[in-house]
Amino acid sequence: MEPNSLKWVGSSCGLHGPYIFYKAFKFSRDGKARILALGDFFFVRCKPEDPICIAELQLLWEERTSKQLLSSSKLYFLPEDTPQGRSVAHGEHEVIAVSEKVIVRLQDLVKWTVPDFSGWANGLKVEPLKPSVLRELGTNGRREALHRYRESTLTSGLNFKDVQRERANLGQEEDGRKVLVLSYPQYCRYRSVLARLREQPSSLLIDHTVLALGGIAALGGSTRILYCRDTFEHPTLLQNESICDEFGEFGSWQRR
Work out the number of other CB atoms within 10 angstroms of the CB of residue 163.
26
Work out the number of other CB atoms within 10 angstroms of the CB of residue 220.
14
* 100 within a domain of the structure (yes/no): yes
Please check the confidence at residue 251 and state whether its pLDDT lies above 80.
no
User: Tens of pLDDT along 46-87?
Assistant: 998 999 999 999 999 999 888 899 999 999 999 999 999 999
As a three-state string, the secondary structure of the chain is CCCCCCEEEEEEEEEECCEEEEEEEEEEECCEEEEEECCCEEEECCCCCCCCEEEEEEEEEEECCCCEEEEEEEEEECHHHCCCCCCCCCCCCEEEEECCCEEEEHHHHHHHECCCCCCCCCCEECCCCCHHHHHHHHHCCHHHHHHHHHHHHHCCCCCCHHHHHHHHHHCCCCCCCCEEEEEHHHHHHHHHHHHHCCCCCHHHHHCHHHHHCCCCCCCCCCCEEEEEEEEECCCCHHHCCCECHHHHHHHHHHHC
Distance set, CA 86 to CA 31, 79, 83, 242 (Å): 38, 5, 9, 28
**Euclidean distance between CA atoms 163 and 13, whole angstroms:** 12
Please check the confidence at residue 103 and state whether its pLDDT lies above 50.
yes
Share of the chain above pLDDT 90, in %: 39
* 254 within a domain of the structure (yes/no): no
Please check the confidence at residue 213 and state whether its pLDDT lies above 90.
no
User: Tens of pLDDT along 140-165?
Assistant: 444 555 555 455 455 556 777 788 88
* 36 within a domain of the structure (yes/no): yes
* 255 within a domain of the structure (yes/no): no
* 159 within a domain of the structure (yes/no): yes
* 256 within a domain of the structure (yes/no): no
Please check the confidence at residue 255 and state whether its pLDDT lies above 50.
no
CATH number at residue 89: 2.30.30.490
User: Tens of pLDDT along 172-200?
Assistant: 765 556 889 999 998 998 888 888 777 66
Share of the chain above pLDDT 70, in %: 71
**Euclidean distance between CA atoms 256 and 252, whole angstroms:** 7
Residue 160 main-chain phi, psi, to 5 deg: -110, 20
Average pLDDT over residues 96-107: 94
| Whole-prediction pTM | 0.85
* 2 within a domain of the structure (yes/no): no
Q: How many domains does the chain have?
A: 1
Higher confidence at residue 113 or residue 130? Answer: 113
* 1 within a domain of the structure (yes/no): no
Q: What local confidence, expressed as pLDDT, does residue 201 receive?
A: 58
**Confidence at 171, pLDDT banded by 50, 70, 90:** confident
Range of the domain at 81: 7-247
Q: What local confidence, expressed as pLDDT, does residue 167 receive?
A: 82
